[in-house]
Amino acid sequence: MTEERPSLRTLFDSEESALFRFAYGIVGQREAAEDLVQEAFLRLHEHWQEVENPRAWLYRSIRNMALNHLRDHRRETAMDEGSDWASDSPTAVELLGRHEAVGVLRLLMAEMPPQDQQLIAWKYSGSLSYEEISKRSGLSVSNVGYKLHHLLKGLADAMRRMGVESREG
CA-to-CA distance for 61 and 41, rounded, in angstroms?
9
pLDDT tens sequence across 106-148: 778 878 888 998 998 898 888 889 999 999 999 999 999 999 9
Higher pLDDT pick, 42 / 87: 42
Amino acid identity at 17: S
pLDDT band of residue 103 (cuts 50, 70, 90) is: confident
11 touches 55 (CB < 8 A): yes
CA-to-CA distance for 75 and 109, rounded, in angstroms?
34
Q: Is the pLDDT of residue 100 over 80?
A: no
DSSP for 110-164 reads: HTS-HHHHHHHIIIIIS---HHHHHHHH---HHHHHHHHHHHHHHHHHHHHHTT-
Q: Which of 130, 98, 123, 117 is nearest to 22 (CA)?
A: 98
Per-residue b or e along 82-116, where b marks 16 or more CB atoms closer than 10 Å to that residue's CB: eeeeeeeeeeeeebbbbbbbbbbbbbbbbbbeeeb
Question: Which segment of 31-40, 70-79, 149-158 scores lowest on mean pLDDT?
Answer: 70-79
Tell me, yes or no, if the pTM score tops 0.85: no
Q: Is the pLDDT of residue 2 over 90?
A: no
Amino acid identity at 27: V
Q: Is the pLDDT of residue 30 over 80?
A: yes
pLDDT band of residue 83 (cuts 50, 70, 90) is: very low
Question: Which pLDDT score, from 0 to 100, does residue 74 have?
Answer: 64
pLDDT band of residue 81 (cuts 50, 70, 90) is: very low
Q: Provide the mean pLDDT of the chain.
A: 80
Which whole number is the average pLDDT over 32-59? Answer: 91
For the chain, list the domains and their CATH numbers.
1-89 (1.10.1740), 112-169 (1.10.10)
Question: Which pLDDT score, from 0 to 100, does residue 77 have?
Answer: 43
- Tell me the helix, strand and coil percentages in the chain, rounded to 5: 75, 0, 25
Burial of residue 65, with CB atoms counted within 10 A of its CB: 0-12 exposed, 13-18 middle, 19 or more buried: buried
